[in-house]
Chains A and B, each alone.
Chain A
Amino acid sequence: MRIYLELARLAFQQQFAYRAAALAGLFTNSIFGALLASVYVGLYSSQADGASVGGFTVAQTVTYVWIGQSLIAPVYLWGWWEIIQSIRTGAVVTDMLRPTNYFTYWLSRDAGRAAAHTLLRLIPTLLVGALLFDLVYPDSPARGLGFIASLPLAVLVSFCFRFMTNLWGFWILDHRGIAGFSMVAIGVLSGHLLPISWYPDPIRDAINLLPFRAIVMTPVEIWLGQVSIAEGLALQVFWSVVMIAAAQALQSVAERKVVVQGG
């Protein structure tokens, strides 16, 4: 147990060395946040005042945009390929031979990183959004806490997804095909690209059956009061359990492959 905490702590500290990168990321998130929020405000201008589209008023949509931008870093929505890189360099073999559980090893490091990113990216991004736009805030302290609780769960589900997509690198030589597809998939299915309720009904219903909404959409819904705190967190817990099980299953298959083929 100690080793995992240690790994998390190290990963946490490591992020603070990349201060300039954090600032650059914050800047980029802010520009995109402002851009998208403006576009949505423009979309609503043709609607009646206070109108609600797919369960979102204009203020809620603007808030959704900024929560979405602030989540990108902690949840590492796009571009995490560390395991694939370790397969390339061959470091994966030593990683797997460690006396730690491979999944938990990577999870601890991701948890540390996510905690750092929450401080370095999530909070500052929300602050910028609050400064530039009129946001909607959680209507009770309990809801605020509920949002905070939803964050580690969102990271967990996201991590499992990233872990599994990376493990495909054991079977597929060129990961760039998966990379493109998974980037689009996670952007759409997590609810980051657009609120899921905005898609045509059949698509919306299908997406809601998938685990990925737990990464972005559910935290947003908890914040905005669109779902009860208990329901939101329960959904995330449910999907966390399912995804962890799936990840562990895929891991044993991968481990067997490494053992048999020697990487």
Chain B
Amino acid sequence: MTDTMISAQKLIKTFPIKKHHAGALGALRGLVDRTPDEQFTAVDNISFEIERGEMVGYIGPNGAGKSTTIKMLTGILVPSSGEATVAGITPWENRKQLARQIGVVFGQRTQLWWDLALIDSLDLLRHMYQVPEKRFRENLDHARELLDLDDFLRTPVRQLSLGQRMRGDLAAALLHDPPILYLDEPTIGLDIVAKARMREFLSALNRDRQVTILLTTHDLADIEHLCKRIIVIDHGQVMYDGGLDALRGRFGGKRHITVDFEQEPDDAIMTLHNGQISVVERTGPRVRIAFDRTAITAPELLARAGRYGSVRDMSIEEPQIEEVIRQMYEGARV
């Protein structure tokens, strides 16, 4: 028996591009100009279904349409066409009713009241969402423990660090026990420790309370730690909807390693070039090499490169999401 919490069906959202008229004469022309505005399609026929208890990563480069999709699924934006059902409700038709079923954390904007203490914000939300006193206490204590809120519970939100504010926002979003949680870039700007902690919290939430989570992010590491299923979107369309491992295997093969030698390495280093390895850049003692991780491991490659000079330092870059998607395009073309 399926228990679909989020269902998007052929969602399309187009925005008119405002024509810019310069100067006084241009402004007059703009008034009488009746030609239709150009349309920009932010979301182009997106469909997917998410079951209860799933934690899905929604990824894509900037401008891919991630935020626009989320806005439609939270009732902020009305689609140009298409349908959606979230917890059995059409988001844009029953905004207030839906609000009680969802929790939202925008990475870059807080849901909390800027000039109030965190505890006051939470208390206000309790009243707004009509959470019974007992349940509120339970959820608050739970959040205080897991998110370590006690240190800054009484601090005005505007004085909180980014990490603290995110934790506060998470607590706030879950106060009313929503079955669905939307997270829009939740780890952006956080340091490594804070990111790890947030990921732990979300994992536990999904596992222990069966909260359905839709997480948009730029950060592939978030995805790797949290999501079994990811939806890749680009230019408003779904490029891929499936397991993470499969995606990695198909497209995420290439990594980059940057090796700093003591001195300029021997020219023979260019012989490293083969089907799975390519020397991408060479500037003095620094060499950047792209390699297929399924064909050779980083330590192996490092050992081989070391034959051409004395290695001083090295760094490994994870494939960026843009890179993965670019490769997807190339793969699609093939």
Contacts and interface: CB of A to CB of B under 8 A. Distances in A.
A–B contact via C-beta, under 8 angstroms: yes
Interface in B24-68: 24, 27
State which size class the interface on A falls in: under 10
A19 B24 CA distance: 9
A231 B55 CA distance: 83
Contacts of A16: 24
A16 B24 CA distance: 9
Interface string A150-184: 00000000000000000000000000000000000
A187 B24 CA distance: 35
Contacts of B27: 19
Contacts of A19: 24, 27
Interface in B1-27: 24, 27
Interface in A1-59: 16, 19
A119 to B, nearest CB: 13
A19 B21 CA distance: 14
Nearest to B27: A19
Interface residues of B, number: 2
A7 to B, nearest CB: 23
A13 to B, nearest CB: 12
A19 B27 CA distance: 11
Contacts of B24: 16, 19
A184 B27 CA distance: 39
B28 to A, nearest CB: 11
A182 B248 CA distance: 68
A22 to B, nearest CB: 12
A117 B258 CA distance: 60
Nearest to A16: B24
A19 B30 CA distance: 15
A21 to B, nearest CB: 14
A16 B23 CA distance: 10
B30 to A, nearest CB: 12
Nearest to A20: B27
A16 B22 CA distance: 12
Interface in A209-237: none
A104 to B, nearest CB: 31
A19 B28 CA distance: 12
Interface in A54-74: none
A18 to B, nearest CB: 13
A152 B24 CA distance: 27
A171 B298 CA distance: 63
Interface string B110-154: 000000000000000000000000000000000000000000000
A131 B292 CA distance: 81
A224 B157 CA distance: 59
Interface in A230-261: none
A93 B228 CA distance: 54
Interface in B182-239: none
A16 B27 CA distance: 13
B24 to A, nearest CB: 8
A33 B24 CA distance: 28
A50 B27 CA distance: 48
A15 to B, nearest CB: 13
Interface in B292-329: none
3 nearest interchain CB pairs?
Answer: A19-B27, A19-B24, A16-B24
Interface of B: 24, 27
3 contacts: A16-B24, A19-B24, A19-B27
